[in-house]
């Protein structure tokens, strides 16, 4: 029997997400800070470095927002430009903002409603226990009109993995 890569992907995601529910580290695992005169003993150069890093992160975020907004405008002007769609999705995913990811995929699926590769990529953002309800709503929306074997296989793997994960949690 051939091993389906989507099975491995979903199992990896579920295993990783189960680890997020782990207890916080013990106090022994936390770094010790020496206090001198009521403040943390740090050199001024480190503070400047942190401030510079925070400033550059803000600049990157602002730049990413403008890139994302520009790409949205380009997609609205030319909805059949595949390169712009890829860039928009990449920008949304790079932002790590789930609302932006939703917006980008919803825009794409308005233009290409029966694109199973896009549907599967969109669904992969909701394969964590706190987001299963969103994934299930998307599955019900995508599966009814879809003749895509790949989408149906992805759904069956999802169901099998979620049921086995829930059974395992109940047993433990």
Q: Is residue 87 part of a domain?
A: yes
Q: Is residue 127 part of a domain?
A: yes
Q: Is residue 27 part of a domain?
A: no
Q: Is residue 43 part of a domain?
A: no
Question: Which residue range(s) make up the domain with 70?
Answer: 52-171
Residue 36 parent element (H or E): strand 35-36
Taking a C-beta distance cutoff of 8 angstroms, is the pair 57, 49 a contact? no
Q: Is residue 11 part of a domain?
A: no
Q: Is residue 151 part of a domain?
A: yes
The overall pTM is greater than 0.75:
no
Q: Is residue 105 part of a domain?
A: yes
Can you give the pLDDT of all 172 residues of the chain as single tens digits?
455 555 555 656 555 545 544 444 444 433 343 334 444 444 445 565 555 666 555 555 555 557 889 999 999 999 999 999 999 999 999 988 899 999 999 999 999 998 999 999 999 999 887 888 899 999 999 999 889 999 999 999 999 888 777 665 665 5
Q: What pLDDT is recorded for position 140?
A: 92
Residue 65 belongs to domain with CATH number? 1.25.40.10
Show Cβ contacts of residue 10 under 8 Å, excluding neighbours closer than 6 positions. 127, 157, 158, 161
Residue 35 parent element (H or E): strand 35-36
Q: What pLDDT is recorded for position 119?
A: 95
Q: What pLDDT is recorded for position 164?
A: 77
To the nearest 10 degrees (0 to 180), the angle between helices 98-111 and 82-95 is 160
Q: What pLDDT is recorded for position 84?
A: 93
Residue 40 parent element (H or E): strand 39-40
Number of domains in the chain: 1
Q: Is residue 3 part of a domain?
A: no
Q: How far is it, in rounded angstroms, from Cα 116 to Cα 46?
A: 48
Q: What pLDDT is recorded for position 91?
A: 92
37, two tokens: 């005169």
Residue written as tokens 């020496």?
34
Q: What pLDDT is recorded for position 57?
A: 57
């Amino acid at each position: 029997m051939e091993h389906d890569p989507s099975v491995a992907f979903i199992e990896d995601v579920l295993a990783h997400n189960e680890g997020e529910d782990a207890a916080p580290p013990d106090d022994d695992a936390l770094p010790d800070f020496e206090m001198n005169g009521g403040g943390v003993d740090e050199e001024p150069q480190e503070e400047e470095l942190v401030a510079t890093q925070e400033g550059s992160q803000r600049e990157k975020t602002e730049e990413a927002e403008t890139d994302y907004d520009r790409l949205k405008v380009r997609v609205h002007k030319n909805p059949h430009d595949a390169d712009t769609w890829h860039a928009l999705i990449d920008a949304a995913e790079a932002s790590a903002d789930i609302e932006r990811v939703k917006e980008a995929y919803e825009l794409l699926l308005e233009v290409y409603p029966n694109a199973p590769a896009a549907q599967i990529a969109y669904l992969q953002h909701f394969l964590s226990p706190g987001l299963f309800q969103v994934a299930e709503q998307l599955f019900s929306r995508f599966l009814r009109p879809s003749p895509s074997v790949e989408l149906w296989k992805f759904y069956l793997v999802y169901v099998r993995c979620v049921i086995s994960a829930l059974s395992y949690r109940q047993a433990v």
